Amino acid sequence: MALKWYTVVVDCHDPQAQVHWWAQALDWDVVYDTPDEAVAIPKGMSEDPVDDVEEWMARGQGLVFVPVPEGKTVKNRLHIDLAPHTSQDRDAEIARLLDLGASRVDVGQDDAAVTWTVLADPEGNEFCVLSTRNR
């Protein structure tokens, strides 16, 4: 049996602003919000305990934001990839993220040759919007 990938933890200056930005970007729910930790999970994902290990393993991951004193100085070594479904308008989703406060980022990609767009959240954490897909 494998371990469950439970959360991704993001170091940041303002956990409350970050958790609410990401919850809005992903249409997730904020389920915990204190000065020391803020958590968002996919809508509809229960916080109730689950006794069945297979059901527990099938749950999605959450995002946890914790405060750190230092600022971000280099490109992230780990980032999140977001993918629109083939029925969604990818460019409209990118525009929505930019309207929410994301910014375009150059991490060395050749925009003419790649099928993804690199953006950063309001604190500068890079993430990608991939090409549309249905699997």
Length of the chain: 135
Domain that holds residue 60: 7-67
How far is Cα 86 from Cα 132, in angstroms, rounded to an integer? 5
Banded pLDDT at 8 (limits 50, 70, 90): very high
Mean pLDDT, the chain, as a whole number?
A: 94
Q: Is the pLDDT of residue 1 over 70?
A: no
Encode 22-54: b = buried (16+ Cβ within 10 Å), e = exposed.
bbebeebebeeeeeeebbbbeeeeeeeeeeeee
Residues 63 and 91 both lie in one domain: no
Specify which residues 32 forms β-bridges with: 39
Question: In terms of pTM, does the model score above 0.85?
Answer: yes
Q: How many domains does the chain have?
A: 2
Q: Is residue 75 part of a domain?
A: no
pLDDT (tens digit per residue) in 16-52: 999 999 999 999 999 999 999 999 999 999 888 999 9
- Together in a domain, 46 and 97: no
